[in-house]
Amino acid sequence: MNICNYTLEEYIAIVKSFHGSAAPGMVIGGYMVDLALKNTPEGEFFDAVCETSNCLPDAIQLLTPCTTGNGWLQVINLGRFALTLYEKYQGKGIRVFIDSAKIETWPEIKNWYFKLKSKKDQDSQLLFEQIKEAGPGICSFQSVTVRSQFLEKRSKGNIAICPLCKEAYPVKDGDMCLGCRGDAPYL
């Protein structure tokens, strides 16, 4: 069972290099992206929504043209392990999610998905075997339409120099930059 243009072993090597480790969510995420791509019309320009910030954004970034920095991937953290690829102008897309009913037959995947065991008590070899055997079989997909407000492309608008930090910032943010207004995460 390949993941997009990669064998599982090739994909895992890329995952280790980018993500740091072949986490279960990265392997399942690979099958999910593959399933979404197989159900997305070819030749379309699509964007991605990821409903969790854990693992899955990296599977999307490695397997599709959508990345955090090019703006085609939005992480909207709803706490669900799901992703949507959608046609970027009309918003019609395919949402892929882990199907709670389907994982009933894969006890170690269930333990991982519902956090029924702590990480140290997980049988990671068994988990990986079940993920590999189940492949996309633990997922379902549905047609969705992304709301128009999420399709609008961000534009920074005009740029000015912040009177406090002297760095460039979008004028629409007000008379100083958001960092100097108190949103910077620094002491």
Binding segment for a copy of itself among 38-46, 64-72, 118-126, 129-137 (CB under 8 A)?
Answer: 64-72
Helix (H) / strand (E) containing 10: helix 8-19
Residue 85, judged by CB atoms within 10 A of its CB (0-12, 13-18, 19+), counts as: buried
Cα gap 179→171, rounded to integer Å: 13
Minimum separation from the CB atom of position 59 to a copy of itself (A): 7
**From candidates 59, 83, 94, 139, binder to a copy of itself by CB under 8 A:** 59
Residue 101 sits in the site that holds a copy of itself (CB under 8 A): yes
In which residue are the tokens 């333990």 written? 111
Q: Is 136 a residue that touches a copy of itself (CB under 8 A)?
A: no
Residue that has been written with the tokens 């992206």 in this structure = 33
Task: Tell the residue number behind the tokens 């055997």, with chain if given.
Answer: 133
Find the angle CA(148)-CA(152)-CA(155) to the nearest 5 degrees: 160
Position 39 contacts a copy of itself (CB under 8 A): no
Interactions with a copy of itself, residue window 6-25 (CB under 8 A): 18-20
- Nearer CB in complex with a copy of itself: 1/76: 76
Comparing CA positions, the residue from 16, 15, 82 lying closest to residue 49 is 82
Residue 153 in the binding site for a copy of itself (CB under 8 A): no
Question: Could you tell me which stretch among 1-9, 31-39, 108-116, 117-125 binds a copy of itself (CB under 8 A)?
Answer: 108-116
Q: 46-50 and 73-75 as β-strands: parallel, antiparallel, unpaired?
A: parallel
Binding site for a copy of itself (CB under 8 A): 18-20, 26, 49, 51, 53-59, 61, 65, 67-71, 73-82, 84, 91, 95, 97-98, 100-101, 113-115, 144-147, 150, 154, 156, 158-159, 161-162, 165-170, 173, 177-179, 183-187
